[in-house]
Amino acid sequence: MDHKVLAETVWDLVGGSSNVEQVTHCATRLRFNLRDRTKVQMESLKATSGVLGVVSKDTSFQVIIGAEVPNVYKYLSASGERTSGTSSDSGKEAAHKINKRGNWGSLFVYTITGIFVPILPPLTAAGMLKALLAILTTFKLVTNTSPTYVVINFMADAMFYFMPIFLANSAAKKFNCNPYLAMMLGGILLHPNFINMVTAGKEAGTMSSVFAIPIYNATYSASVIPIILSVWFMSKVEPIADRISPKMIKYFTRPMLTILVSGIVMLTALGPIGYIISQFIASVVNTINTVAGWIIPTAMGAFLPFMVMVGIHHGLTPIGINNRMTIGYDTIVYPGQLASNVAQGAAALAVSIKSKNKELKQLSSVTGVTAVCGITEPVLFGVTMRIKTNLIAAMCGGGAGGLFMGLIGVKNFSGGSPGLLTLPSYIGLDTPMSNFYFAAAGSGIAFIVSFVIAFILYKDQI
């Protein structure tokens, strides 16, 4: 694949500079904000070699490339030749269009996706480092007191501990405010003096205050919701601070007023609200696990392909993260996604074995392996959605694997892209190895059921 040629072809087919407001990318997709979608040469775009699929949504126009998307994207954004986040109003315009239609659900998913997609690489790195530690300790290659363990562990924990700062940066870009001031808000939540103040307050049964306003005794390391709410509020404060600041000293007063107001409101109101919401979500998850823990993993395993197809699966990411940060593990998001991803890969591999079409054999084998490792967009748009029997097989296998893991209550401890490569993320230091074995068994059920059904049902089109 010539990445430069593909980038130039895609760019021209979506309308070029006159039609593109913004282009970003996630793990497998180029995401465009377009001025006029009627200018897109849709059929030619879909037929382009290297393009696995196209998704047109309220919020963005997505071109699925696969794992090579970063290499294609760099030619779209190199040397300022392409529009890459240069339109500061593009996010607001997209949100305005959604609001005008009254589609608040799309706006929520659009916002959450825009905030979490940029931090997926460090989240994946942290999860894989935790998985590596789990392997090393399981096979007694290192102990949990050895220097090697300690170093790798705090390398992985850095992403989770400082998550408010990472989220502050991406949230600021989504809410169109200063990312460095937003990161300062994240730093305030993690400052040692604040943490010590909260710890002392909890021990003494008292609360600190600022301007006589009480500060709730909560810590926010590894938190998700408080910083997102706070950066959103800052995006409303910043333009007001700009408007009321005297022109001659605006450079000084605008950031000061923004941080002073936003920081106080964050510590006294929005932080506690976000903390309470996080605890409530954790409580709901515990209730679901107690009453019917199999429902969501089963549904996730069966219907995740449709969620990925329209790009709303990233809206589930903060739920899984919040579960792990509050109760220590996730049982409703990642196990179901694991079953679905493995099932899709298995169905594609069945086709690669049974089909006599050389092109389809190569496509299904390559994308099938990628899917069982955790990245499904290539197989979804290249195989699953094009072959009805594969979709049926993937839904059955994913649902069966999700049901098994839901009934057992399989726990995910460190995230990562759900696939066989991240199975070690189901190993907990204080949890029996049976949890890992059950995760592997659930993956095996998803694989076998999907593979068998796809192999039986698939027939080459003559």
Domains of the chain: 3-102 (3.30.1360.60), 162-285 (no CATH), 293-457 (no CATH)
pLDDT for 88 equals 41
pLDDT for 301 equals 93
pLDDT for 89 equals 47
pLDDT by residue (tens digit) across 26-52? 777 888 888 888 889 999 998 898 888
CA dist 59 and 104 (Å) reads 11
pTM score, whole prediction: 0.73
pLDDT for 104 equals 66
pLDDT by residue (tens digit) across 340-354? 999 999 999 999 999
Q: Are 189 and 227 in contact (CB under 8 A)?
A: yes
What are the residue ranges in the chain where pLDDT is below 70?
1, 57-59, 77-107, 310-311, 429, 462
DSSP state of 374: T
Specify the 3-state DSSP secondary structure of 26. coil
Q: At a CB cut-off of 8 Å and minimum separation 6, what does 145 contact?
A: none
Q: Which residues are catalytically annotated? A: 26
Q: At a CB cut-off of 8 Å and minimum separation 6, what does 36 contact?
A: 15, 19
pLDDT for 327 equals 84
Q: Are 441 and 332 in contact (CB under 8 A)?
A: no
Indicate the length of the chain as a whole number. 462
Find residue 213's DSSP bridge partners. Answer: 210
CA dist 317 and 415 (Å) reads 9
**What is the edge-to-edge ordering of all strands in the sheet holding 53-56?**
20-25, 29-34, 61-64, 53-56
